[in-house]
Structure 1
Amino acid sequence: MPASLRLALRAMAHNNGWANHRLLTACAALTPDEFAAPRTGFFPSLRATLNHILVIDRFYIDALEGGTLGPRAWADPEPCGTVAALHAAQSDCDRRLIAWCAAMEDGDADRIIRVHRGHQVQDERADRLLLHLFQHQIHHRGQAHAMLSGTGIKPPQLDEFFAEGEAPLRAGEFRALGWTEDTVWAVG
């Protein structure tokens, strides 16, 4: 696998974690009732939408790690009732995904991942599975972003991708996440 593909997938995993951190940090300013309030979207609330991201992350990250969690991942569609619990659980998933992408070696993008779907096991290439997972997150974070716009909390900017000239603007968030620019961009 070219180093550029490894770097791109690792950067996507970091960007994913950063966007989750930004969104959940903003949601922490909501009251519990505001977080659970009915809103227009595919899922009926911010809590339900952000829990869906977590549940599906657990499903796919487990598959990437060789697990067999399968549909048990969504047995509880809202495993986290508070923003704090959700932020901690999502951060754990984000760290696991980043670690998986950082550990990729030549040929790993083509590796077949066995996705346990209950009634069948689906074989999927790792790169396709990762791209699907990133797209899933982007899609539902956008919905949560729109829902947050309907509250008194200003939604964070989520439509950017680590522009080099904007590194100082994210330095504080990177410190909070335990990252540096080299964490994301170092080749090797």
Structure 2
Amino acid sequence: MARNNRWSNHVLLRACARLDGAAFTATRTSFFPSIAATLSHNHFVDLYYIDAVEEGGLGESVYDDEIVFAHASDLAPLQQAADERLIVFCDRLTDADMSRIVITDRGEKGKIPERIDNLLAHLFQHQIHHRGQAHAMLAGTSVKPPQLDEFFLDFERDPEIARLDLTDVSRRNA
């Protein structure tokens, strides 16, 4: 799922990079008011949950620097770095780690203990949910929304997966 997350973000941001800044940030109908706001939100939520499972201690302070990126090309390298960080984390997980408890900083709601497997499942679901919203908003632009559901099956696998070299992320960053 971490590799699918990396691929999906890459494909969607590559498509969004074909939009000019005005189209990327234009007000649209969805949970967040623009493609830019939706994908920027996804990025900062990634940073929050990656920090939580890594027990980095940043908690909600990751949102202190939250911005809405003006163009997909500004967001893409930062999202790539977060995605690759998540792949490295997941590659290092053991079976015992999956049920390990980490503390999530929920601000006024306090410090909440959560299982790593549940946090990861939530993170991947969150990403899919909001990427779907951005994908739908992209349909209202001049850029055709990309196919995002071909990752797991060999039948129609996107050749871009091989170019991303997703199998070697942990070795490159080790």
Q: Is the pair's TM-score, using the shorter chain for normalization, greater than 0.5?
A: yes
Asked if 1:109 is matched to 2:98, the reply is yes
Q: Tell me how far 1:165 sits from its aligned partner.
A: 2.8
Distance 2:10 2:151 in 1: 14
What is the one-letter code of the residue matched to 1:26? A
2:50 alignment partner in structure 1 = 61
**2:11 is matched by which residue type in structure 1?**
R
**Matching of residue 15 in structure 1 with residue 4 in structure 2:** yes
Q: Secondary structure at the match of 2:143?
A: coil
User: How much has 1:176 moved relative to structure 2?
Assistant: 3.4
What is residue 172 of structure 2 aligned with on the other side?
none
Q: For structure 1, which segment, 95-104 or 111-120, has the greater mean C-alpha deviation from structure 2 after superposition?
A: 111-120
1:75 partner SS: helix
Q: Does 1:133 align with 2:120?
A: no
Give identity over the alignment, percent: 51
1:91 aligns with 2:91: no
Residue 50 in structure 1 maps to residue 39 in structure 2: yes
User: What CA distance in whole angstroms lies between the structure 2 residues aligned with 1:110 and 1:13?
Assistant: 18
Q: Which residue of 1 aligns with 2:29?
A: 40
Of residues 170, 177, 183 in structure 1, which corresponds to 2:164?
177
* Residues 126-178 of structure 1: CA deviation (Å, up to 9, x unaligned): 111000000000100000000000001000011334202334xx22x124322
Q: Which moved more, 1:90-99 or 1:117-126?
A: 117-126
Q: Would the aligned equivalents of 2:18 and 2:143 in 1 still touch at CA under 8 Å?
A: yes
Using structure 1 for the length normalisation, give the TM-score.
0.84
Any gaps of 5 or more consecutive residues in structure 1?
A: 1-11, 184-188
Task: Summarize deviations over 1:73-94 as a string: whole Å, max 9, x none.
Answer: 2224425332112001110110
Tell me the residue number matched to 1:150: 140
Aligned residues: 168
Equivalent residue for 2:69, pick from 60, 80, 91: 80
Q: What TM-score results when the alignment is normalised by the length of structure 2?
A: 0.90
| Residue type at the aligned position of 2:145 | P
**RMSD after superposition:** 1.7
